[in-house]
Structure 1
């Protein structure tokens, strides 16, 4: 399991969106999210898979710690969060 520390992780809605998004990446079959520490674990250490994971996280508004956290990232994370909350409530 490879662990990445990300920004903008706020709640279970965020976690739902992240999990669903990362599971669409080929090579990722397991995602572990720790809300308290803002860490995301994926079951791959392949560089190409991790690059895809980091790119997907940033595109959803959750860049890795150390990367730029722009207003666009923050706005996307709010949308992802709301989407994740609505999805989890309807399930």
Structure 2
């Protein structure tokens, strides 16, 4: 099942590196593509439960989907995730 999620706070390659790295650790998630220009994260999942897991993982990293709240905590988390991705 191919899925795309439009996320907030996705700005650069550092963000994309962190997202790709963290989502690659999830079981049954493959073909991860992060497009910083379009603010999308695309992936293949076995089913809707795995897709929901990806959405929740993105939120914990500071990249909530467009329908989720994007408060100061999310923005701060994305800043740290971005910096981490730039160091790798």
Same fold (TM over 0.5): yes
Q: SS in structure 2 opposite 1:16? A: helix
The corresponding residue for 2:32 is: 31
Contact 1:2 1:45 in 2 (8 A): no
Q: Structure 1: where are the runs of 5+ without partners?
A: none
TM-score in terms of structure 2 length: 0.95
Q: CA RMSD in A?
A: 0.9
Q: Structure 2: where are the runs of 5+ without partners?
A: none
* Segments of 4+ moved more than 6 angstroms: none
Contact 2:13 2:86 in 1 (8 A): yes
Contact 1:3 1:39 in 2 (8 A): yes
Q: SS in structure 2 opposite 1:30? A: strand
Contact 1:14 1:81 in 2 (8 A): yes
The corresponding residue for 1:78 is: 79
TM-score in terms of structure 1 length: 0.92
CA shift digits 1:2-47 (9 cap, x unpaired) = 1100000010000000000111111112201111110000112611
Contact 2:4 2:40 in 1 (8 A): yes
